Structures are given as structure tokens and as C-alpha cells.
């Protein structure tokens, strides 16, 4: 599949970012999602929206130092990665990264380029850039799983 299918959403502020995460969770988001975008774009904010909407009732911390934060929820496992501080993709092998990529898991990965060569391919590419006072999110499905999510997604940007 190529990137001929691209959908964009304008996200006005932090609250809308969290709400968009809720829509993604409700659409049955699963598989491997690469979150691209510079520091401060709102990747972790979006992950918080997804993880809390999927049933986690506590804080969602940025896994900058731990590399991955697991959330074992009622109907799915979510693994939130932040690979910003990863020196070498091989380090991922040492903590058994492959165990995280199972069928019923959602893997949200910030800074996926740091894990290139070890991470499995993404089902969905998500890119965040600045637009006016808010953000533009572009979704690009890479697999059938990604396409199905996009078909189920309901979100009204203002």
C-alpha cells in the first residue's frame, strides 16, 4: 500500500488533542502507530487522550527515561514508547521489545526513527505539525488494519 490515502485533522488546542485521542481509541485503534513530529507538538498529549479514553484512570507520564510505559487495560494492552533517548536500536532487543508487539496490543511510538531496523512496520503513520495556534494531524494508513481504523474514525475538526 502506498500513501495515497491521507486524512488531515485540525486540532485547535490541548483539549481538542485529548478529544482526538478519544476518537482514535473509540475507532478501535490497534497495531503499531508511529507518532512523528518535533518536540512539543503534542505527541504525549495525544497518547494521554488515547490511553485514558481506553480506560486507564491515572496519569500518563512521558516514558522519556523508561522508554516504554505499559498499560494493561480491560480489552487491550497499550504500550507507550518514547525512543528519544535511545542510543542504538539494538538496545530495544535487550528489554524484549518483540513481546510488546502482539495481536491485541496497541503500540504508540514517539520518535520511531530511533528504533529503525528493530521496530516492526507501522500500521498507521501519524504526523503532527503546527497550524495557526493549533496543530495539524495527518493520518496515513500503511496496512489494512490502519485503513479500517481510518474508516471507523469519527471526529469533527472545527
Q: Is 14 in the site for ligand ADP (CB under 6 A)?
A: yes
Work out which of 30, 35, 43, 126 binds Mg ion, going by CB under 5 A. Answer: 43
Q: Residue 86 or 150: which CB sits closer to Mg ion?
A: 86
* DSSP string for residues in 40-103: TSSHHHHHHHHHHHTT--S----TTTTSEEEEE-SS-EEEEEE-TT-S-TTHHHHTTGGGG--T
Work out which of 21, 30, 37, 63 binds ligand ADP, going by CB under 6 A. Answer: 37
As measured in angstroms, the least distance from the Cβ of 132 to Mg ion is 21
Q: Residue 2 or 132: which CB sits closer to ligand ADP?
A: 132
Nearest CA to 43 out of 111, 115, 118 is that of 111
Q: Is 23 in the site for ligand ADP (CB under 6 A)?
A: no
What's the DSSP call for residue 122?
P
Contacts with Mg ion in 11-30 (CB under 5 A)? none
Decide: residue 4, CB within 10 A, 0-12 exposed, 13-18 middle, 19+ buried.
exposed
The residues binding ligand ADP (CB under 6 A) are 11, 13-14, 16-17, 37, 39-45, 110, 134-135
Amino acid at each position: 500500500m502506498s500513501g495515497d490515502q491521507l486524512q488531515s485533522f485540525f486540532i485547535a488546542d490541548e483539549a481538542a488533542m485529548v478529544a482526538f485521542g478519544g476518537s482514535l481509541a473509540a475507532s478501535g485503534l490497534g497495531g503499531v502507530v508511529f507518532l512523528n513530529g518535533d518536540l512539543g507538538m503534542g505527541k504525549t498529549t495525544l497518547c494521554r487522550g488515547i490511553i485514558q479514553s481506553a480506560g486507564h484512570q491515572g496519569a500518563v507520564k512521558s516514558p522519556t527515561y523508561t522508554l516504554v510505559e505499559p498499560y494493561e487495560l480491560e480489552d487491550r494492552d497499550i504500550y507507550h514508547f518514547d525512543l528519544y533517548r535511545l542510543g542504538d536500536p539494538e538496545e530495544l532487543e535487550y528489554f524484549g521489545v518483540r513481546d510488546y508487539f502482539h495481536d491485541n496490543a496497541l503500540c504508540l511510538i514517539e520518535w520511531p526513527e530511533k528504533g529503525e531496523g528493530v521496530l516492526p512496520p507501522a500500521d498507521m503513520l501519524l504526523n503532527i505539525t503546527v497550524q495557526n495556534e493549533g496543530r495539524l494531524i495527518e493520518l496515513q494508513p500503511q496496512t489494512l488494519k490502519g485503513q479500517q481504523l481510518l474508516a471507523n474514525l469519527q471526529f469533527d475538526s472545527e
